[in-house]
Amino acid sequence: MASLSLPTLPLRTLASTSSASSYSSAPLLHCSVPARLSFYSSQRRTTCPKLRCSRQFTVTCGTAITEINETQFNDTVLKANRPVLVEFVANWCGPCRLISPAMESLAQEYEDRLTVVKIDHDANPRLIEEYKVYGLPTLILFKNGQEVPESRREGAITKVKLKDTTSIVSPALLLLCMNDNDVYTKL
């Protein structure tokens, strides 16, 4: 079966982990009505909302960011052979949900040069204490098993600000974008 490229439209949906609403992009179906997606797993099953239409679609969302825990942290982050951007989040954190689309977009854009992982604040207290995470969301860039100096960022941030030269995280990301291997290894 061939894959269709469908236009997207901002859509108000309910997040599975909280009662608050969040915004997401969802495909417009053939009948021009936005699909309602539930956020339970990386593969979402949806049905066209028009009653006369019974087509079903599978939509894959959020696959560029992997959620890890304390036991996976050592292998995934500290022993990684490329830079890893760690995002400390919580299900109840509004700003964490707010930056989720920007982080997903960033992970997809830099997937060949950067690994982006998500760590749940409530489920991983040892990591929260070890890395002194005081605010959420917190972004920390790791290279060669160590935190990159000046890479820590707390609070909500847009994708543009994340890549902007005035951002705290951006100098590291700008170096990642360059093709010069000498600059890349200095990270």
- The catalytic residue positions are 93, 96
CB 175 within 8 A of CB 184: yes
Q: What are residue 47's phi and psi, to 5 degrees?
A: -120, 145
CA distance 176 to 75: 21
Compute how many other C-beta atoms are within 10 angstroms of the C-beta atom of residue 149. Answer: 9
CA angle 175, 180, 186 (to 5 degrees): 55
3-state secondary structure 91-153: CCCHHHHHHHHHHHHHHHHCCCCCEEEEEECCCCHHHHHHCCCCCCCEEEEEECCEECCCCCE
Strands 115-120 and 66-68: parallel
Q: What is the CA radius of gyration of the chain?
A: 18
CB 106 within 8 A of CB 162: yes
